[in-house]
Amino acid sequence: MRPLRVAIFASGTGSNALALINKAQTLSGALEISFVLSDKAMAPVLKKAQEMSVRTYLVEKKLDRHNHEQEILKLLREHRIDWIFLAGYMRLLSGSFLRQFSSWHEGASQIVNIHPSLLPAYPGAEAIARAHQDRASQTGVTVHFVDEGMDTGEIIIQEALNLPSEAPLSDWVDAIHRLEHRMYSNFLESLSLGKPRTFYFEENP
Ligand code: GRF
């Protein structure tokens, strides 16, 4: 069986992307991070991935969303990507993009995202800051399948954290990011062990 091929999409700092790249390197060839893609030229994740010898692509926002997504689909097809991990990717994917990608995998949805809250609480941007502001009694992290909505896809794993409401926001951010890195890299590892099952890239004739 060939290694699973994973693409990471990220728009920002890239700490989750880095955690995934580090984990992939320990998986003795069962899985490879084929590339990191960003829509932002200035995203620090691009440099970080290059320093780890991972190929990067920049596909900047276009006026036409369809053309933008077609360019990305071309890369996914060229690299025969099995799974996409969104890691701070600040764009929604269209229904036609999702359908095209799943058509290469027997209809399976093999795109996942990580979000720093216990969804459905606090979807969207600034989730940690909003929970902190509300002095939420419990927070956490969610890994979920991606659909057309904002952080609305089917939940795969959630872990809760009880953080003291009097702690500064920076403590919350650090604790939640640590949990994210652990959960996302554990999920990557479980894929390499066949859970959930991967439908390998297969382009229909
Ligand atoms: C993470 O909190 C992730 O959950 C959210 O965006 C943030 C990205 O952080 N979707 P980083 O770029 O991985 O450091």
Per-residue pLDDT tens for 136-172? 999 999 999 999 999 999 999 999 999 999 999 999 9
- DSSP 3-state assignment of 153? coil
Mean pLDDT of the chain: 96
Residue 203, pLDDT score: 86
Residues flanking ligand 1, CB < 6 Å: 10, 12-17, 87-88, 114-116, 180
Q: Please write the tens of the pLDDT for every residue from 6-52.
A: 999 999 999 999 999 999 999 989 999 999 999 999 999 999 999 99
The rounded percent of the chain whose pLDDT value lies above 70 is 100
Fold of 4-115+143-158+177-192: Rossmann fold (3.40.50)
* 116 CA: nearest ligand 1 atom: 4
Q: Are 14 and 56 in contact (CB under 8 A)?
A: no
**pLDDT value for 205:** 55
In angstroms, what CA-CA distances link 194 with 30, 87, 142? 10, 21, 20
* Cα–ligand 1 centroid distance for 75 (angstroms): 23
Whose CA is closest to atom 2 on ligand 1? 116
Using an 8 Å Cβ cutoff, are 20 and 184 in contact?
yes
Interior angle at CA 61, CA 56 and CA 67, nearest 5:
95
pLDDT band at 63 (very low <50, low <70, confident <90, very high): confident
| pLDDT for residue 187 | 98
- Residue 69 pLDDT exceeds 70: yes
> Is 115 part of the annotated catalytic residue set?
yes
- In this structure, the strands spanning 139-145 and 155-161 are antiparallel
User: Residue 204: what pLDDT?
Assistant: 74
Q: 61 pLDDT exceeds 90?
A: no
| 5-15 tens-digit pLDDT | 999 999 999 99
